[in-house]
Structure 1
Amino acid sequence: MTELENELRKRAKKFRAVKSFIEEEPVMTMEGWLETRQRGAARRYYYCVYDRDQGKTVRKYLRKDQQGLAKKLAQKAYYGKIQSSINRCLPLMEELSRRIDEEDLDKLYDDLPDVRKELIQPVMMTKKDRLAQWMDEAYSPNPMPKSSRAIMTKLGESVRSKSEKILADFFHDARVPYKYECPLRLRDGRILYPDFTFLDSRTLEEVYWEHFGLMDDVDYMNRALEKMKLYGRSGYRLGERLLVSFESNEVYIDFDLIRQTVEERLKWPE
């Protein structure tokens, strides 16, 4: 059910963003509504307001020079329909997502005692098995220049900077499986080597982490921005399947933010 879970989360996130956008739109605070009438090719627009003192709706004809008001009222009505649809659908989507989480088929097998696991053939590959398979997949990392000074991580990997070592060791200590500089083929066929690649425990999609460590160097910064453009053009959105961290000579890595990101996005259940 991973694809369904992933789609539900994406759709719910989009709905919440649209709902928040509409709620901030100035037209939503306007009083009244629009009525339209058409006879043949002639169209007439009316600004309608309910008059509580008179106990009835008061309609005012909108002249051609008042078309701006008609557009705002029409936009308000459109937004209102979107709001109503989201308000109906979003609770259902969130409830379904919660139910799916509760009925985790992987957990039904993982929670069995070993003595029973030995007797059972799971109906599908569990997420933990998929993670193990992913970690076993061979890959060719970006070759290190021979002149580079070896900087070793706790896992015995050679990395390109002290910051990458700090990050790699942080992920290792947090028990977050990763691949260092695993090649990623973009839509245009170009190959990038993200600093770190992870497998999302919820979606089983790969998530990429780039660390940009010399952001006070203008040439380096421009190359970093171009690289983020390449990711974006291949559908890897910042904050979704692309995560980044930055530093410069005067601005250090924000480890509180990194720790939060690991807990929210990358941590696998024990």
Structure 2
Amino acid sequence: MNYIELNIELEKVEKELSTLPTGKLLVYPNGNWYRWFYLNQSKRKYISKDNISFASSLARKEYLLLKRNVILAKINAINKADIPIQAAEEKLLEFVQDKRYQALLKPFYSKIEDAELLSWQNSPFNSNTKYAEQLTFQCPSGNVVRSKSEVFIDMALASNAIPYRYECELSLDNLTFYPDFTIMHPITRKLIYWEHLGMMDNDEYARQAFQKLQTYQKHNIIPGENLILTFESKNNLFSYTNAQLALEMMNLKDFSLAL
């Protein structure tokens, strides 16, 4: 995003914040569930399950405050101010991964209303069963993925109401692949694959990635057409903004943006 776009986004966040209640949400474990409390001017009040919408609005407020910090960090970076963008995005990621808030944030994700798209996304499919122990990163959407970067991609897709499958089986030349994300375009209904190449400073990893991309190209899976490629190394980390920009470049952004 450029300076003008960031300020427009900041204005949207500020406008929504002005409509949300004052005070803060406190969440405490309670068996397999959580107890919610409303803290306002040092007074604490219990929030019942019947009033979950109020608890959700307070969770939404906390999310927007963290998102505002990310936007401000980016604006300050453009202005050459020394504000760490990565630290702001890490706090945002920690919040959306916190199980205490995930059920409360879910109503704010854009809903896929098209029956065909929803049916495709929710239909059973063959997925990658290898290294299941690496599926440790919980997404606000409910999916569990293998890395923080994939959480950002999951968030970007879910918040834009784009139907997708995580690690769905793809067979080419008697070889089986599991693209990180398989997307169905909301308008054209064409399948788009998203591969996040997260260890490009590892020679063997890069070699295998190149071989896979050669096979993809042989079968007309072409970057910029029906393949999204994002990259990462130890010195060049991937962010939520990178995920949103990748969608924007493929004209896949803002179908129904909520988060």
TM-score, normalised relative to structure 1: 0.48
Higher relative contact order (CA 8 A, sep 6+): 2
